[in-house]
Amino acid sequence: MRNRYFYLLLACTLLLLSCKSKVSSNSAFYYWKTIYQLNPSQRQLLSTIGNKKIYLRFFDITWDNDHNQPKPNAVLRIADTVKGLKIVPVIFITNQTFHHTPMAGLDSLAFKSAGLVSVMASRAGISYQKIQIDCDWTDDTREKYFAYLTAFKKYDKHLLEVTIRLHQVKYRERTGVPPVDRGVLMFYNMGQVKALGGSSSIYNEKDAAKYLGRLDSYPLKLDVALPLFSWAIHSRDGHILNIYAQIKRQDLQDPEKFKPVGSSFRAIKSFFMKGVYIKENDNFKLEETNLDLLNKAAEQLSAKLKPLPGRTIIFYELANINLPEFTLSALNKVTDHF
């Protein structure tokens, strides 16, 4: 009888400890199109799964070769209501911009980009608490990128966070740790893109495992971005031509246009589809995100992350979600891993 009570007490204690160690996470979505306009199903997803929190890409910064200077590109046009939404403005900056911009020009770039965010937000009636900068910087652009971030914080007093790739976690001594308040770990686009065969380049467990050994010691607090997209890799004679998010499985399963060959689809004639010229014998390899893959990614990553109360799980991205399997309960199970 005494042993029975002991084991009962032990079980209750372990249960309480597990409940105490469980931290709450919340969900959000990226939105990456140049016109912000939601359809009813997207609006429903945002208000339920996304908790009305959206990471809204405001504009890109690219390098203008004609004028030899950085410039804003693909500036967002807001054509829908943003009332009641919790919005995080996002700036995407190409690494090439930092290759070409001289160190003396970074303060001006930070001033102008912070100002553009402020003007766009004001015109749309958007209030915000933080800004996200998305740039896949490299060893040789580290100094300039970090100088830009430091200058940005001088001109904008909101919280500043940046995207972090897996290689920047593993090789932090080379790539450095950005001088910001918080990071978002991009847990996708981690494998090599191949024309035919091979593992998914969006997510595969083997490639991901190579970069997770030091994740729990990364000095920035990390939110997480997970993939909610698919794409088709277009190749000709074994050479990759492009990657298209707009080409879906139902397009490639048209028997009048494509023939299944292994895990790929081969064009049986030449034609245009969704603005893409497809030549006879061109190949398309489809890489898809489904719930099984998403749960595997969440399970693998959550086991390596330090617990963080209120961690945000951001799904990329809202504009291209069209699969009925991504329901409220299904995506809540994904975030429950964290």
Each residue's pLDDT tens digit, 67-79: 999 999 999 999 9
167: its two tokens: 């290689």
- Strand 69-73, strand 53-64: pairing: antiparallel
Peptide bond preceding 280: is omega within 30 degrees of 0, i.e. cis?
Answer: no
8 A C-beta contact, residue 49 and residue 332? yes
| Radius of gyration over every alpha carbon of the chain, rounded to an integer in angstroms | 22
Q: Which of 237, 267, 236 is nearest to 251 (CA)?
A: 267
Mean pLDDT of 254-269: 96
Among the four given CATH numbers 3.40.630.10, 3.20.20.80, 3.10.129.10, 3.30.413.10, the one describing domain 23-229+289-336: 3.20.20.80
- Tell me the C-alpha distance between 292 and 280, whole Å: 34
Assess whether pLDDT exceeds 70 at residue 216.
Answer: yes
* Structure tokens belonging to residue 282: 């061109």
pLDDT for the residue 325: 79
Q: What is the pLDDT of residues 78-103, one digit of tens each?
A: 999 999 999 999 999 999 999 999 99
Give the mean model confidence (pLDDT) for residues 201-224: 95
Task: Please report, for the chain, the start and end positions of each structural domain, with discontinuous segments joined by +.
Answer: 23-229+289-336, 231-287
Give the burial class of 331: count Cβ atoms within 10 A of its Cβ; 0-12 exposed, 13-18 middle, 19 or more buried.
Answer: buried
CA 21 to CA 15: how far, in whole Å?
A: 10
Over 60: is that where the pLDDT of 8 sits?
A: no
Q: Strand ranges (DSSP E) for the chain?
A: 25-31, 35-36, 53-64, 69-73, 77-78, 86-93, 130-134, 159-164, 182-186, 222-227, 231-236, 239-244, 258-261, 264-267, 271-273, 276-278, 283-287, 311-316
pLDDT score of 321: 78
* pLDDT on residue 329: 86
Q: Rounded to whole angstroms, how far apart are CA atoms 162 and 282?
A: 38
> d(Cα 320, Cα 302) in Å, to the nearest integer?
25
Q: Which residues contact 194 (CB under 8 A, 6 or more apart)?
A: 201, 233, 240, 285
Q: Residue 10 pLDDT > 80, yes or no? A: no
Cα 89 to Cα 252: distance, rounded to the nearest angstrom: 35
Indicate the pLDDT class of residue 50, thresholds 50, 70 and 90.
confident
Structure tokens at 139: 């060893």
Alpha helices in the chain (DSSP H): 2-21, 40-48, 95-100, 106-124, 142-155, 166-170, 172-175, 205-209, 249-252, 291-302, 328-336
* pLDDT score for 56: 98
Residue 114 or residue 197, greater confidence: 114
224 and 188 Cβ atoms separated by less than 8 Å: no
